[in-house]
Structure 1
Amino acid sequence: MFRFAQPQYLYLLLIVPLMWAIYFYSVYRNRKNMAKYGNPQILQSLAPDVSKYKPGTKFFLQQLALIVMIFIIARPQMGAKIETVKKQGVEIIIALDVSNSMLARDIAPSRLDKAKQMLSKLIDQLDNDKVGLIVFAGDAYTQLPITSDFVSAKMFLSTISPDMVPTQGTAIGRAIALAMNSFTPDQSADKAIIVITDAENHEDDAVQMAKEAAQKGIMVDVIGIGSEQGAPIPIGGNDTNLRKDNQGNVVITKLNAQLGRDIAKAGDGIYISADNTGSALRALTAEVKKMKKSDIESKVYSEYDEQFQGLAWIVLILLLLDIFILDRKNKLMKKVNFFS
C-alpha cells in the first residue's frame, strides 16, 4: 500500500504553476524590452553563440527537480507488512429501505435522503467498529459486506437509490434474515441490526425474524422514517408527477410506526422516530455507545518503507543536467539548422 507520510507538503506543488506564470511573463518582458533597441533578429545576430532554447530547457529541468523534491519532502512510503490487529469495537449491519415510498417528502429533503444523511453522520462517529450495508425493497441485497473501511461505506451509501432493487415492496423480514448471516463468526462482539424504513411491510413476518435475531444475541433497532399523516410519492424527482394506483388515485404512503415498534420490541432493540431534527441521530448514537465493545480483528499495514531514495537520484540527475547545459550553443550543433 502506498501513502505519503506527510501529505500536507504536497500543497507546495501550488508554487509550480505560479513559477511558470512568472517565467513566461519574464520572457514576454525581455522580448518587449529587446524590441525597444532594434529588430530582435538583428540583435540576435550580434550574439550568435547564445542559444534560443537552452534557457527554457534549463528552467524545465529546474521545475521538474522542484516537483520531485516536494514529493520527497512529503515522504512517500510503501506498506511492507500486513498485520492483524485487535481493536475494541462492535459490529453493526444497516438495513436501509429503498422502496419507492422512501422517495416521499414528508421528511425533508426526502425519506431516503434523510436516512442517508443520518447514516453518513453515524458512520463518522464510529471508531474501531465494523459496519455493513444491506438495501431492501421487495427483496434484500448486500450492498457492502461488514468492514472497518468507513470510506467505502460512505461511498456505497451515497450511490443508493430505489433503482438498485428491481422488486418493489418492503421485505423487512428478508433484510433482517440476510443481516443475521452477514456478521463475522466472532461471538464476543456485540452485534446490532439497524433497520431504517417507513415500515410499510407487505411481504413477510418481520416481527418473527426480529425474534430470531434476538435469540442469537443480535439486537434489532428500528428507525421509523416518515409521518403517520403520509405523503404522495413523486416520480423522477418531480413533485407534479405523482405515483397513482390502478384507479388513477394518488398513492399516499404513511409511516407504520406500530409495526416499527413491534419489530424493535421483538428484537430487544429500540424504536426511534426520525423527523426533521437531529434527535433520531442522537438517540441512535447513544444506543450504539451502550453496546459492549470487544476485540475486533482487522488487517492493517504495520510497517512502511521510505521510498525517497529513487526520487533523490532523479533530483540529482536533473540538477547535474541543469549545471552542464550552458546558455551558449553547442559548437558541434550551432551550424545545424533543422528548419532550412
Structure 2
Amino acid sequence: MAFAMTASFHFIRPEWLALAPVLMTLWWLVRQRIRERRQAATVVAPHLQSALTVDQGSSQRWFLIDHLTLLALCLVFATAGPTWSQQNSPWFEETAPMVIAIEVSDSMRSNDLLPTRLDRARFKVMDLLALRAGAPTALIAYAGSAHIVMPPSKDIAVITPFLESLDPAIMPEPGTRADRVMPLATSILGAEAAAGTLLFINDGFEPLDIDALAEFAATPETPSMSALVLGSDEGGVALLPDGTAVTQVGGGLLDTRVDSTVLNRVTKAAGVQVVRSTVGDRDIQRILRASESNLRAAEDPDAQWKDQAWWLLWPALLLSLLLFRRGWTF
C-alpha cells in the first residue's frame, strides 16, 4: 500500500512549486547578510562589543528567517495540492450496477428454509434492493437455461412483480446451468461490467460450473462474482404446489443437500465470495461490502484526485504560533 501511495504521489497544482526556489534564494541571501554582520562585529573593540551585544551568553543558530522560510514552504507545498489517492464521483458510487441471478430450479422448492428456499431468496432480494435504493439492478432467472427477467432498473416497484412470478414450472429447461448466466450478465452491464457485480442467489453450484466460473473470473473487464447460498448441508424435501415431493430421474426424492466442498472449490478457483444465508441481514451486508469493494477497485472516469493539503496545515499552524515567542515579533 505504501508503494502504491508513493507511485501515485503528485501535485494537483504544481505551478505553485516555482515559488520554492525563490524562497530558498531569499533565505540564502538573508542568511548571508546575517553571517556578514556577525563577522563585522568581530572588528569592534571587545569592551565596546560587550556593551553593545544583547544576551551575550546565547549562541543563536535558528533565526527568524529560518522559521519564516519553513512556514512559507509548508504553505507553498500545501497550495500546490499534494495528492496520492482518488475519490470516486457521487454518480459513480451511487450507481454501482448489479446483476442478480436467481436459481429457479426444483431444488429451490426445498423446505429446509421456510417457507421454501425460493421464497427466502425473494425476501433476500427485496432486502438487498431496499439497501441499494437508487442503484441499477438487473434480474436473471436460470435453471437449465438463463433468461433476462428485468434489465437494469432503479425502481423496486417494477422489479417486485417479476420477482414474485418466478417459479420452476415456467422455466423451459430443467437443471442448474450457472455457466449460462455469465454471458447474459456481461451483455447487460456493457461498458460498466468491470465496476459491476454478478450475484448468484442459489443453493450451490455443480462441479461442472467451476471451470466456467474460473475462466470468466480470469477474463478482463468482467464483473466480480458473489454467491448467496440458501439451504443446509443436510437439505430438505422439495415439494410441488400440490404438496407432493419432487423426485429425481431414476426414482427417489430429489437430493437437495448443499455441497460445501464444491462451494470451497468455487471460491478457490474463481474467487467467488460465497456467503451462506443467515437469519437477519448479516449475509446481505457482506454482499454489499463485497460489491462496494469491487467498485473501489474499478476505475471511475470522472474520479477526482483528493487534495491532501490539510496534512501540511497542521505544521504550518504550529509554526505560526511559534512566531509569537517573546523576542521575535514583540
Q: 2:239 aligns with which of 218, 225, 234?
A: 234
Q: Residues of 1 paired with 2:179 and 2:249: CA distance?
A: 27
Tell me the equivalent position of 2:83. none
Measured after TM superposition, the shift of residue 109 of structure 1 is 1.6
Partner SS, residue 292 of structure 1: helix
| Equivalent position amino acid for 1:115 in 2 | A
Structure 1 residue 270 corresponds to structure 2 residue 273: yes
Q: Which runs of no fewer than 5 residues in structure 1 stay unpaired?
A: 1-84, 297-340
Indicate the structure with greater helix content.
2
Sequence identity percentage: 21
Structure 1 residue 220 corresponds to structure 2 residue 199: no
Q: 1:140 to 1:210 in 2, by over 3 A?
A: farther
Tell me the equivalent position of 1:209. 213
Q: Which runs of no fewer than 5 residues in structure 2 stay unpaired?
A: 1-89, 303-330
Q: 1:247 to 1:160 in 2, by over 3 A?
A: closer
Indicate the structure with greater strand content.
1
| Equivalent position amino acid for 2:264 in 1 | R
Q: Residues of 1 paired with 2:177 and 2:269: CA distance?
A: 17
Tell me the equivalent position of 1:254. 257
| TM-score after normalising by structure 2 | 0.56
Q: 1:169 to 1:246 in 2, by over 3 A?
A: closer
Q: Residues of 2 paired with 1:92 and 1:265: CA distance?
A: 22
Question: Greater CA deviation, 165-174 or 284-293?
Answer: 284-293
Q: 1:156 to 1:206 in 2, by over 3 A?
A: farther
1:187-336 alignment runs, 5 A limit: 190-201=195-206, 204-216=208-220, 217-236=222-241, 238=243, 241-245=244-248, 248-292=251-295, 294=300
Q: Residues of 1 paired with 2:135 and 2:291: CA distance?
A: 10
How large is the RMSD of aligned CA atoms in angstroms? 2.6
**C-alpha deviations, 1:216-271, integer Å up to 9, x for none?**
34211011111111112112152xx2122455422231112332333344443311
| Equivalent position amino acid for 2:203 in 1 | D
Q: 1:275 to 1:178 in 2, by over 3 A?
A: same
Measured after TM superposition, the shift of residue 86 of structure 1 is 4.9
Tell me the equivalent position of 2:169. 163
Report how many aligned residue pairs link the two structures: 208
| Equivalent position amino acid for 2:132 in 1 | L
1:110-125 alignment runs, 5 A limit: 110-125=116-131
Q: 1:146 aligns with which of 149, 152, 161?
A: 152
**C-alpha deviations, 1:71-101, integer Å up to 9, x for none?**
xxxxxxxxxxxxxx95632111111000011
Measured after TM superposition, the shift of residue 121 of structure 1 is 0.6
